[in-house]
Amino acid sequence: MLRSIALALASLCLLAPAQAQAAQTYIHAGALLDQPGQAPRGASTLVVEDGKVLQVMDGHQAAPAGARLIDLSDQFVLPGLIDAHVHIFSDDDKVASRLEAMNRDAEDRFVIGLDNARRTLAAGFTTIRDLGSDPPAITALRDAIEKGLVEGPTIVNAGRMISISGGHGDGANGLARDYAELEREHAVNTCDGPEDCRRAVRIQVSQGAQVIKFAATGGVLSNVAGGLGRQMFDDEMKAIVETAHAFGRKATAHAHGKDGIMAALRAGVDSVEHATFTDPESLALFRQTGAYLVPTMIAPDAAVKQARAGERPPAVLAKAEEAARIAFAEHIDQFAAPGVKIAFGTDTGVSAHGDNATEFKMMVDAGMAPARAIHTATVDAADLLGLSFSLGTLEPGKSADIIAVAQSPLEDVTELERVRFVMRRGVVHKLDGARQPWPAD
Ligand SMILES: [Zn+2]
């Protein structure tokens, strides 16, 4: 008898949060940028129900009985931010030693990823695109967040970056023979020739990749003296992009050198990451294809700081310094080029998780207006991720991914580095600058 009462009470407790979830939440905003790209509204009320925006109203409307009221009447409210280039399990800012990385098990990395996911969400990034993680780990984290089991942003994921042998994504580069053989035995992300590259894409899809990433050129941090130029042939890139599209996946290219950027754009990629060396010809091709450019400006900056502090091999310092210097100058031209689509991305994992918003200041320093910088991290990034139907703006039917800062980020974009309120799908994760207990119920 007592046991059945206890069970009945327990089931009541389980029901309670579900009922609370169904109730409405009224948010009083001091100012509201519901549609980035347009002027912000003044005092407004957002009504949230079932994890979605139900209504946007002018003024501060009284909350009906039973509804929760969140008072942000002294704050600036906007859609949750989207970072289109993150590596959630990487902490290169803390662990540059390849030896230490080799002493980690998958479980160690997973716990690091859990913490990174929490910090990312607390920083106001309610959605990320992960562009290179171990497939079983990223799909497990993605699904656990989706089910509400752990705290973190919505994740759109690639699996492993596809690369040619000896390319930027070949994990066997420079390893002693025994380790290299082991890596080659297990790696499924390296491919040579179009047939082999189709296979590599299909395997990533079978392991849960929602987007396909490939290395069109060399990279700054790979342990191979391969430069930053083109690494893949036309037929390999075309095979990758066509196979990804056949599966309904977008394809994105890691590319620094102009030759690799041009080839990737001609192969039909949906976006180019880094795009360090561009010129009027390659920017014209961006315009023509409609592909997004994802600048990742804080990554080379972070790599330079780490290399100067002795946390990187000496060979990396020169490459990182060159990339950082040139990238900044090139991005000035890219941001000024009319019609070139830009989506916000940081390559966080090179820099510290939770510092994603420092990218905004670099974008503004490179000549972008704060309003457009915010647009790239909301409307544009949502479009690139194929999620415009639910993300990027705050309007009825869209996801209640909502953040707030103390002052207008349209005047001082660094306000976005100090996010005070975070709601994802109607659940409050941060209030008055303080993380909220998790789980919320
Ligand atoms: Zn990256």
Q: How far is the CA of 128 from the centre of ligand 1 (A)?
A: 12
What is d(CA 32, CA 410) in angstroms, rounded to the nearest whole number?
12
The whole-number pLDDT of residue 17 equals: 42
Residue 14: what residue type?
L
Convert the pLDDT of each residue in 77-120 to its tens digit: 999 999 999 999 998 766 555 667 778 888 999 999 999 999 99
Residue 388 has pLDDT above 70, yes or no: yes
What CA–CA distance (Å, rounded) separates 10 from 321? 59
Q: Output the CA 138–ligand 1 centroid distance in Å.
A: 14
How far apart (Å, rounded) are the C-alpha atoms in residues 390 and 77?
Answer: 17
Taking the model in full, what pTM does it have? Answer: 0.92
CA of 378 to the centre of ligand 1 (A): 20
CA–centroid distance, 298 to ligand 1, in Å, is 11
Q: What's the chain's average pLDDT?
A: 90
What is the distance in A from the centroid of ligand 1 to the CA of 15?
A: 42
Ligand 1 centroid–CA 439 distance in Å is 30
Q: Positive or negative, the Cα torsion across 345, 351, 354, 359?
A: negative
314-336 and 298-308 helices cross at what angle (nearest 10)?
A: 160
Contact between residue 429 and residue 122 where contact means Cβ atoms under 8 Å apart: yes
Distance from residue 299's CA to the centre of ligand 1 (Å)? 9
DSSP secondary structure letters along 101-141? HHT--HHHHHHHHHHHHHHHHHTTEEEEEE-S--HHHHHHH
Predicted confidence at residue 18, as pLDDT, reads 40
Distance 24 CA to ligand 1 centre (A): 39
Task: Give which of 207, 178, 206, 202 is closest to 191, Cα–Cα.
Answer: 202
Residue 2 has pLDDT above 80, yes or no: no
How much distance in Å is there from the Cα of 211 to the middle of ligand 1?
13
Burial profile 351-380: b = 16 or more Cβ within 10 angstroms, e = fewer: bbbbbbbbbbbbbbebebebbbbbbbbbbb
Q: From the CA of 44, how far away is ligand 1's center (Å)?
A: 38
The pLDDT value recorded for residue 318 is: 81
In the reported structure, the alpha carbon of residue 273 is separated from the centroid of ligand 1 by a whole-number distance in angstroms of 8
Give 70's strand partners.
Answer: 27
Cα(150)–Cα(207) distance, rounded to whole angstroms? Answer: 21
* Three-state secondary structure call for residue 243: helix
Of 249-253, 254-258, 359-363, the least confident:
254-258
Map out the domains of the chain as residue ranges: 2-80+393-435, 81-384
pLDDT tens by residue, 22-39: 599 999 999 999 999 999
Q: How far is the CA of 86 from the centre of ligand 1 (A)?
A: 6
Q: Check pLDDT > 80 for residue 342.
A: yes
Q: Which two tokens stand for residue 197?
A: 């590259």
- For ligand 1, the distance from its centroid to the CA atom of residue 107, given in whole angstroms, is 22
Distance CA 30, CA 20 (A): 25
Q: Which of 233, 122, 250, 105 is closest to 167 using CA atoms?
A: 233
The mean pLDDT value for 412-439 works out to: 95
Task: Give the distance (Å) from ligand 1 centre to CA of residue 322.
Answer: 18
H helix runs in 147-269, sequence order: 177-186, 194-206, 234-246, 258-267
Span from the CA of 345 to the centroid of ligand 1 (angstroms): 9
pLDDT at site 98: 60
Q: What type of residue is 339?
A: G
On the question of pLDDT at 273 being above 50, the answer is yes
Model pLDDT, residue 170: 85
The CATH H-level (homologous superfamily) assignment of domain 2-80+393-435 is: Urease, subunit C, domain 1 (2.30.40.10)
pLDDT at 272 over 50: yes
342-369: average pLDDT: 96
Least Cα distance to 106 among 177, 167, 222, 186 occurs for 186
**What's at 1, amino acid-wise?**
M
Burial 74-86 (b: 16+ CB within 10 A, else e): ebbbbbbbbbbbb
Task: Kindly report the CATH number that applies to the domain delimited by 81-384.
Answer: 3.20.20.140
For residue 88, report the distance from its CA to the centre of ligand 1, in Å: 10
